[in-house]
A and B are shown apart, each in its own frame.
Chain A
Amino acid sequence: MTDTCGYDGDRDEAVIGYVYDDGDAVERASFEAHLAGCARCRDEVGGLTGVRRQLAAWEPEVLAAGRPAALGARPQAWWREIPAWAQVAAALLFLGVSAGIANLDVRYDRNGLSVRTGWTGRAESVAAAPEAGPAQTAPVPWRADLTALEQQLRTEMRTTHASAAAPAADRQTAQRTASSGDADTLRRVRALVDESERRQQRELALRVAEVLRDVSSQRQADLVKIDRSLGAVQNNLGVEVMKQRQSLNLLYRASQRQ
């Protein structure tokens, strides 16, 4: 551009302030008034605004791709660091314990597949199916354990209270007894919990085997039923065909006579 500019002030700063919308309203209004009469500044503001548009469109691939890989990702939750096999094992254990606690009862019979949980459902099913196997009629295994544990804890607590109430002279002895008693209780609790888990796993395996057996036998029964039905349908069809054939023969003979 060869046009001269008579802007009174630092022109470069004014242009850049205008292009970036920087500066106060008075400065801006003053420069706008200048722009109206200055082709050179108008051209420059237009050109630099165009450059800014192009710069805004510049997004290098590596930046568009997202987080810089070298810096790593957000720290993972602790449980994600556990190996997959351990997670699967934990899930199976949880499933077994849950099934045991929920008193899961899966059944496939003439009424189709039914799943029941809870104490009442269990009692009803036992009453409704007296021919059920020993595993189904056996008492819930860990209920007895819990009762025994409760009894033990009550006994221990009574012992502890009695020890606490004993005279000061006997307190030291009582504390020793209590602490050894605590350790003993802890061992027994652990043993009971372990045993309970083992029983629950056995129970779950037994239930799954029963379900599979029930499904298989019901399937066999259904297949036999379908087979019989098909046989009956085929017999009926054969009889019908025979009757039709006889009717046709009768009509044919009658037509021959005429």
Chain B
Amino acid sequence: MTSTDEELVARSIRGDADSFNELVLRWQRPIYALAYRTIGREEDARDVCQETFLRAFRALPGFRGQAKFSSWLYRIALNLCRDWMRRQRRTPVVQAPEDVDLMELAAAAEPSESIEDLVARKDLTRIVEGAMARLPEEQRTAIVLKEYHGLTFQEIAELVGCPLSTVKTRLYQGLTVLRRELGHDGKRP
């Protein structure tokens, strides 16, 4: 039977390293995805992900279960992303390739996907990554947490430490900017 996060946390606090490993295996991908979508750099996202679990491990004895373990982990990761961006003092740059290598694309193509579809998919990825990268950090974080991690507005508000209405406003503003960037406003093709 699969243990819950809370059970694994309790066992980890008692010194069971395997339980903490299980938590890492369970949450490393979402945390890495959050870091990558927030800061847009593969290597740095890995560093943030590792640092998140390291900090979580160190702080685990002080974790009293006031919040869900995942929320606690997300908060650590978001703080680290924020620190990273502050250190960089620039908007994140997503590693989107400038040129499209058709041979590389063909090698990566799904068997049922034509080259045209693949190019279109890659193009879309590049455009979305670029548009997301240009968003202000607060709006981007709200969108990432909502779209890719399925958090509720309330959970996002608690995570980032702002009122519920602010979360909704950030989402509205972020999506509106993306709409303009991605050509859904009827003004761009």
Q: Do A and B come from one complex?
A: yes
Structural contact, A51 and B184, CB atoms closer than 8 A: yes
Structural contact, A71 and B185, CB atoms closer than 8 A: no
Closest CB of chain A to B129's CB: distance in Å?
A: 7
Structural contact, A51 and B121, CB atoms closer than 8 A: no
Chain B residues closer than 8 Å to A52, beta-carbon distance? 147, 175
With known contacts A51-B182, A68-B29, A71-B50, A60–B36 Cβ distance under 8 A: yes
Chain B residues closer than 8 Å to A48, beta-carbon distance? 175-176, 179, 184
A70 and B128 CA atoms in complex are apart in Å by: 26
Chain A residues closer than 8 Å to B47, beta-carbon distance? 70
A7 and B100 CA atoms in complex are apart in Å by: 46
Q: For residues 23 through 64 of chain A, which have their beta carbon under 8 Å from a beta carbon of chain B?
A: 43, 47-48, 50-52, 54-63
Structural contact, A68 and B182, CB atoms closer than 8 A: no
Closest CB of chain B to A41's CB: distance in Å?
A: 12
A22 and B53 CA atoms in complex are apart in Å by: 32
A47 and B29 CA atoms in complex are apart in Å by: 30
Cβ 8 A contact of B175, one of A51, A69, A75: A51
A13 and B168 CA atoms in complex are apart in Å by: 6
A59 and B28 CA atoms in complex are apart in Å by: 17
A10 at the A/B interface (Cβ < 8 Å)?
yes
> What 1/0 mask marks residues of chain B from 1 to 35 whose CB sits below 8 Å from any chain A CB?
00000000000000000100100110011001100
A67 and B132 CA atoms in complex are apart in Å by: 23
Structural contact, A58 and B128, CB atoms closer than 8 A: yes
Structural contact, A57 and B172, CB atoms closer than 8 A: no
Cβ 8 A contact of B50, one of A19, A22, A62, A70: A70
Closest CB of chain A to B188's CB: distance in Å?
A: 11
Question: How many chain-A residues does the 8 Å CB contact rule pick out?
Answer: 32
Structural contact, B125 and A16, CB atoms closer than 8 A: no
Structural contact, B178 and A55, CB atoms closer than 8 A: yes
B82 at the A/B interface (Cβ < 8 Å)?
no
A97 at the A/B interface (Cβ < 8 Å)?
no
A12 at the A/B interface (Cβ < 8 Å)?
yes
Structural contact, B37 and A16, CB atoms closer than 8 A: no
A94 at the A/B interface (Cβ < 8 Å)?
no
Chain A residues closer than 8 Å to B25, beta-carbon distance? 74
> What 1/0 mask marks residues of chain B from 33 to 51 whose CB sits below 8 Å from any chain A CB?
1001100001001110110
Closest CB of chain A to B66's CB: distance in Å?
A: 24
Structural contact, B165 and A10, CB atoms closer than 8 A: yes
Chain B residues closer than 8 Å to A13, beta-carbon distance? 165, 168-169, 172
B153 at the A/B interface (Cβ < 8 Å)?
yes
With known contacts A17-B168, A51-B184, A63–B175 Cβ distance under 8 A: no
Closest CB of chain A to B116's CB: distance in Å?
A: 16
A61 and B22 CA atoms in complex are apart in Å by: 25
Structural contact, B21 and A47, CB atoms closer than 8 A: no
Chain B residues closer than 8 Å to A19, beta-carbon distance? 175
Chain A residues closer than 8 Å to B159, beta-carbon distance? none
> Which 9 pairs, one residue from A and one from B, show the smallest C-beta to C-beta distance?
A70-B46, A58-B128, A12-B172, A68-B32, A47-B184, A50-B184, A16-B172, A13-B168, A47-B179
Q: Residues on A close to B: CB < 8 A?
A: 10, 12-13, 15-17, 19-20, 22, 43, 47-48, 50-52, 54-63, 67-71, 74-75
Q: Residues on B close to A: CB < 8 A?
A: 18, 21, 24-25, 28-29, 32-33, 36-37, 42, 45-47, 49-50, 53, 94, 121, 124-125, 128-129, 132, 143, 146-147, 152-153, 165, 168-169, 171-173, 175-176, 178-179, 182, 184-186
